[in-house]
Amino acid sequence: MWECDGIHKYAIEKMPYNEIPKSSTEKVALAVQHDIRPWLVPGLNELAKRKEPLGIQDLEILGDEMTLKVAAIRRV
């Protein structure tokens, strides 16, 4: 809408995934919401590999559809 693709790209470059003090659940939600593609795969990998199961808090942050997708990945 505002044609801020350059600003969006620059901001993503300045916010490396590993330096953001948020949970992997929050990072995946932010990646989907704000089209931050470099965060999506690392976040999903972390969720798929973590020992603790997905919980209510994950569901509240990710939403039904994404939580079900992550749960399906964890089963494989």
pLDDT digits (tens, 9 = 90+) for 7-37: 777 878 778 888 889 999 999 999 999 889 9
pTM of the predicted model over 0.95: no
Buried b (16+ CB within 10 A) or exposed e, 4-42: eeeeeeeebeeeebeeeeebbbbbbbbbbeeebeebbee
Enter the tokens of residue 61.
């942050």
Helix axes 64-75, 37-49, angle to 10 degrees: 50
pLDDT by residue (tens digit) across 32-72? 998 899 999 999 999 999 999 999 999 999 999 999 999 99
